[in-house]
Amino acid sequence: MAKNGKAIKQIAIYGKGGIGKSTTTSNLSAALADLGYKVMQFGCDPKADSTNTLRDGSYIPTVLELLRDRGSVNAHDAIFVGYNGIYCVEAGGPAPGVGCAGRGIITAVQLLKEQDIFEELDLDYVIYDVLGDVVCGGFAVPIREGIAQHVFTVSSSDFMAIYAANNLFKGIQKYSNSGGALLGGIIANSVSPESNYQRSIIDDFAARTSTQIMQYIPRSVTVTQSELSGKTTIEAAPDSAQAKVYRELARRIDEHVDSKTPTPLEPSQLRDWAAEWSDQILAIETGEVRTEAANI
Ligand SMILES: Nc1ncnc2c1ncn2[C@@H]1O[C@H](COP(=O)(O)OP(=O)(O)OP(=O)(O)O)[C@@H](O)[C@H]1O
Ligand SMILES: [Mg+2]
């Protein structure tokens, strides 16, 4: 609860490595800040590169680095102000090769909670940008420990991205009975409006796993240009079509209240689902119809 009694909305963004989590999260934070909300973006990746496009491409010291250097830390020393007043925090990671990065997330969140920072800053949103696939239990921390209420996953229509999303759904389902975060939906990134099948694939996966698509985000050179200038698209190209797409995503997330337990596919179901789509894509692209049975 923030100090005026309003609820703080805490959101975790997950997805396969390199799929566009930090780019999407930073544009989401920027768009929410432009709507007048007080936003904190909390990078939960040892690379500590979540927030740099909110701060002109600069990197900030991480909570774990500060703790290692100083022993104890005033949380304010780990909070840096970025675009339109967004509070930027990077949890950081253990020294390379030792320790658990998931514990780093717990340590960093605990530090801010112990010092009542969320209330003091009167935040409306805390958005956690969490590292890649849920290969390590540590990265389930924002779901498991009740840190976030809503999870969104960034996925393209590529199988490996969908595979990672399905694994995440398994994690959400597992902790859903013990107060874990629930799934808000999929943010479909790099889904081209011109493609005959990308949207259909991701739509079908969402339907099969009982979730929804929050927004379709095309791959855009405006994002590349903005990133090269060290900024989000919202800041660097506010009048662009791409900025409009991110603003629409922010509006939908702002209106979103009702997260749910997803129904992930079992490995054999996922394989069959992928094989069906393999056939359909071939049929769409070439007009040729081929099934697994026909290949035997
Ligand atoms: N819609 C898009 N259009 C163009 N480029 C994009 C888009 N989304 C992401 N990118 C680019 O893809 C690259 C990877 O994006 P990003 O760093 O956001 O991924 P990530 O999921 O956070 O990666 P990691 O798992 O390493 O943290 C970046 O160079 C980014 O600019
Ligand atoms: Mg990232």
Per-residue pLDDT for 126 more than 80? yes
In 3-state terms, the chain is what percent helix, strand and coil (to 5)? 45, 15, 40
Q: 112 in helix, strand or coil? A: helix
Q: Verify whether ligand 1 is closer than 6 Å to residue 227 (CB atom).
A: yes
Q: How far is the CA of 14 from the centre of ligand 1 (A)?
A: 13
What are the pLDDT digits (tens) for 166-196?
Answer: 999 999 999 898 888 999 999 999 998 888 8
Q: How far is the CA of 236 from the centre of ligand 2 (A)?
A: 19
* Confidence (pTM): 0.94
Question: Nearest ligand, CA of residue 26?
Answer: 1
- 133 is known as an active-site residue: yes
Q: What are phi and psi of 188, to 5 degrees?
A: -85, 100
Can you tell me the distance from the alpha carbon of 222 to that of 245, in angstroms, rounded to the nearest whole number?
12
Q: What are phi and psi of 210, to 5 degrees?
A: 60, 45
Q: Verify whether ligand 1 is closer than 6 Å to residue 71 (CB atom).
A: no
- At position 277, the amino acid (one-letter code) is W
Q: Verify whether ligand 1 is closer than 6 Å to residue 238 (CB atom).
A: no
Q: What are phi and psi of 116, to 5 degrees?
A: 50, 40
Can you tell me the distance from the alpha carbon of 152 to that of 165, in angstroms, rounded to the nearest whole number?
10
Q: Verify whether ligand 1 is closer than 6 Å to residue 224 (CB atom).
A: yes
Q: Write down the pLDDT at residue 4.
A: 57
Per-residue pLDDT for 118 more than 60? yes
Choosing from 16, 34, 124, 231, the catalytic residue is 16
| Average pLDDT for 227-242 | 98
Helix axes 159-175, 267-286, angle to 10 degrees: 150
> Where are the alpha helices (H) located in the chain, listed in sequence order?
21-34, 63-70, 101-114, 117-120, 141-144, 159-175, 198-208, 221-228, 233-236, 241-255, 267-286, 292-295
- Residues with Cβ within 8 Å of residue 33, at least 6 apart in sequence: 39, 83, 84, 85, 86
Q: How far is the CA of 46 from the centre of ligand 2 (A)?
A: 10
Q: Write down the pLDDT at residue 293.
A: 47
Q: Verify whether ligand 1 is closer than 6 Å to residue 132 (CB atom).
A: yes
Per-residue pLDDT for 247 more than 70? yes
- 9 is known as an active-site residue: no
Can you tell me the distance from the alpha carbon of 103 to that of 101, in angstroms, rounded to the nearest whole number?
5
Residue with CA closest to ligand 1 atom 28:
20
Higher-scoring residue by pLDDT: 87, 283: 87
Per-residue pLDDT for 296 more than 50? no
9-264 maps to which CATH number? 3.40.50.300
Higher-scoring residue by pLDDT: 6, 111: 111
Pocket probe mutation, ligand 1, options 13, 21, 22, 23, max atoms within 8 Å of Cβ: 23
Can you tell me the distance from the alpha carbon of 67 to that of 74, in angstroms, rounded to the nearest whole number?
10
- Please state, rounded to an integer, the average pLDDT across all residues of the chain: 91
Choosing from 38, 129, 133, 231, the catalytic residue is 133
Distances (CA, A) of 273 to 97, 112, 254, 263: 38, 43, 32, 14
Order of all β-strands in the sheet with 9-14: 80-81, 87-90, 39-44, 125-130, 9-14, 150-155, 182-189, 213-217
Per-residue pLDDT for 116 more than 60? yes
Q: Write down the pLDDT at residue 193.
A: 86
Element (H, E) at 75: none
Among all chains, which residue has been given the structure tokens 């309003």?
A: 6
What are the pLDDT digits (tens) for 252-282?
Answer: 999 999 999 999 999 999 999 999 999 998 8
Question: Nearest ligand, CA of residue 23?
Answer: 1
Strand 87-90 relative to strand 80-81: parallel, antiparallel, unpaired? antiparallel
What are the pLDDT digits (tens) for 190-211?
Answer: 998 888 899 999 999 999 999 9
Lowest mean pLDDT: which of 57-61, 137-141, 156-160?
137-141
Distances (CA, A) of 96 to 8, 47, 225, 228: 33, 11, 31, 27
Q: 221 in helix, strand or coil? A: helix
**Backbone conformation region of residue 43, classed left if phi is above 0, alpha if psi is from -120 to 50, else beta:** beta
Q: Verify whether ligand 1 is closer than 6 Å to residue 241 (CB atom).
A: no
**C-alpha atoms less than 13 angstroms from C-alpha of 116 in its C-beta half-sphere:** 5
Higher-scoring residue by pLDDT: 285, 110: 110
Residue with CA closest to ligand 1 atom 26:
18
